[in-house]
Chains A and B, each alone.
Chain A
Amino acid sequence: MNAWARFRRNRLALVGLALVVLLALSAVLAPWLAPYDPARQSLIEKRARPGAKYLLGADEFGRDILSRVIYGARVALLVGVLSSAIALVGGLLLGVIAGFAGGWLDAVMMRALEILLAFPYLLLALAIVAALGTGTLNTTIAVGIWGVPAVTRIVRGSVLALREAEYVGAARALGAPSPALLRRHILPNIVPGLIVYGTLFMANAILLEAALSFLGLGVQPPTASWGLMVSTGRDVLLVAPHVATVPGLAIMVAVLAFNLVGDGLRDALDPRLRGSV
């Protein structure tokens, strides 16, 4: 049974996939889907309750929350996808280098990773954002860098294990050069696990972007970010709960979607990984 067939049998994973597609569509089609310009203010309609004009209500500037949630999908997806790419590519490179080089280089790299892992992650992200400046791209980089150490560890572990494994040993004995060894034997074994990890990481990346924006270190106005929307909405939580609740739900649904897909992929691609990533 191939992976897609296994994935398709998982109803929760399909729900997740549908949500991810929905998210992607709303990000791509935002200008057509959103009833209003997400930056259009109407101060007099501040904190309007959900109703006919504003389906999900309006925020503290009288901006349409539905439109901002739709546009916010762009930031969430952009940060999620790009930062996963940074984490995966960076981790893959470092992990392969460490795994192959061994010796003192490996030892130094592992110590350096431990330093990063011993760092409270939010502090690390805070520091990166503070150093690079705020903004969508810098937030993405910060989130991506945060993911590098874990990926490096996973890749290095796999490389070490595979290198010792018999078939690679055999390939080496036959004189296969390292790049070919990497391409033919090691990458195919690592990639499924990385795809799974990447998907689950996207879920965490969306959460971390939201957390950074919540602390005021994320995207810049008037760009709509869900985390920023919760952050500014919390001041009026008691008089207008919808301002913070709606974007909070959006974060939850998006993260849930990626978690469902990630779980489904794991079960489908590599049943041995179940519960271990």
Chain B
Amino acid sequence: MLTFVVRRLLLAVPVLLGVVFVVMLTIDLLPGDAVTLMLGEHATKDAVAKLREHLGLDKPFLVRYLDYVGRVARGDLGRSIQQNRPVAAELADAWPATLELTVAALVIATLVGIAAGVASAVRPNSLFDGLARLGSLFGLSMPIFWTGLVLIVVFSLWLNWLPVGGAGSLSHLVLPAVTLALPSVAMIARMTRSAVLDVLREDYVRTARAKGVGEFLVLARHALRNAFIPILTLLGLQSGQLMGGAVLTETVFAWPGLGRLMVKAIFARDYILLQGAVLIFALAFVLINLIVDLSYGLLDPRIGRQG
């Protein structure tokens, strides 16, 4: 178990190195440069050159890459170019907000998705099943930024129940979390429905039913438990999607998270800050997938642990 975890984490190192390389190269290839942007319209050529030199931006790409990797290895994420502030501090400010939003969305998506999926599967082709399936298709088909706007108009402007944007209290969290969760609710509901349906068709479930085991117990003990593995896989993938989708949600709802930080960093060509943020994302992605893989083993000991 421990060796498995260690091996997986070691395998993640080249991936993270690669991620940093790609981010840095991308920013380098993009037109535009952090310093000219920072100094604005009025800057003289001389001032730009001085600041570039001061920030070490005049060094060749590979030197800067090795420099950065070396510093990260020593636990130093550097200082953001634009704000001259430790990247670690910037991330510490933004990361909890994104975590809060993503976790809230994931909880909503999981609870609502599984409940709707199970309800659909128990009475396939009923009215509820039809509505739920159609509803989840709509959920999948709505652009996240548009859903957000519509929710703002309805719940903030017309009903005045919830705040428009920003963070701080639970009521601030509701709209962005729901917006972000919607496509995942749909995915999870669909997946749960088909997984539970498949399990319900299995022989051992039929046997259990035949033996007179109550419907609820059949569901809880057999169907749901076995349906959990595909659902879990999906959750792992969804959490990646959620973090990605958070960029749009955070923009619409003024949520002070990593997504907005990254967009800001891209537009400012602040590659140091961007790399820090992407590293966190990538690390989270790797960890989530590791946890998903580990929980397979816990749920079903038959599944071996292949890296």
Q: Which A positions have Cβ atoms within 8 angstroms of B? A: 12, 111-112, 114-123, 126-127, 130-131, 203, 207, 210-211, 214-215, 227, 230-231, 234, 237-238, 241, 244-245, 248, 251-253, 255-256, 259-260, 263, 274-276
CA distance A68 to B150 in the complex (A): 21
Additional A-B contact list (18), CB under 8 Å, known A122-B247, A130-B31, A131-B26: A115-B19, A116-B22, A118-B15, A119-B22, A120-B244, A131-B29, A203-B140, A207-B141, A230-B143, A237-B149, A244-B149, A248-B150, A255-B140, A255-B141, A256-B138, A260-B137, A275-B195, A276-B194
Which of the four size classes fits the interface of chain B? 35 or more
Measured between beta carbons, the chain B residues less than 8 angstroms from A118 are 15-16, 19, 281-282, 285-286
A238 touches B157 (CB 8 A): yes
- Within the complex, the shortest CB–CB distance from B261 to chain A, in Å, comes to 11
CA distance A127 to B248 in the complex (A): 16
Measured between beta carbons, the chain B residues less than 8 angstroms from A127 are 26-27, 30, 266
In the complex, residue of chain A having the shortest beta-carbon distance to the beta carbon of B196: A275
Given contact pairs A214-B143, A230-B145, A120 touches B30 in the complex (Cβ within 8 A): no
What is the total of A-B residue contacts with beta carbons within 8 Å?
A: 127
Measured between beta carbons, the chain A residues less than 8 angstroms from B193 are 275
Render B238-249 as a binary contact track against A, CB cut-off 8 A, 1 for contact. 001101110110
Measured between beta carbons, the chain A residues less than 8 angstroms from B204 are none
Interface set, chain B 1-39, CB cutoff 8 A to A: 14-16, 18-19, 22, 26-27, 29-31
Given contact pairs A259-B137, A274-B194, A120 touches B143 in the complex (Cβ within 8 A): no
A276 touches B230 (CB 8 A): yes
Q: Which B positions have Cβ atoms within 8 angstroms of A? A: 14-16, 18-19, 22, 26-27, 29-31, 133-134, 137-138, 140-146, 149-150, 152-153, 157, 190-191, 193-195, 198, 230, 240-241, 243-245, 247-248, 251, 259, 262-263, 266, 278, 281-282, 285-286
Measured between beta carbons, the chain B residues less than 8 angstroms from A230 are 143, 145-146, 149
CA distance A207 to B143 in the complex (A): 6
**Sample of 17 A–B contacts (CB below 8 Å):** A12-B133, A115-B18, A118-B19, A119-B282, A122-B244, A123-B266, A130-B31, A131-B29, A207-B143, A211-B248, A230-B149, A248-B143, A248-B149, A251-B142, A251-B143, A251-B146, A255-B140
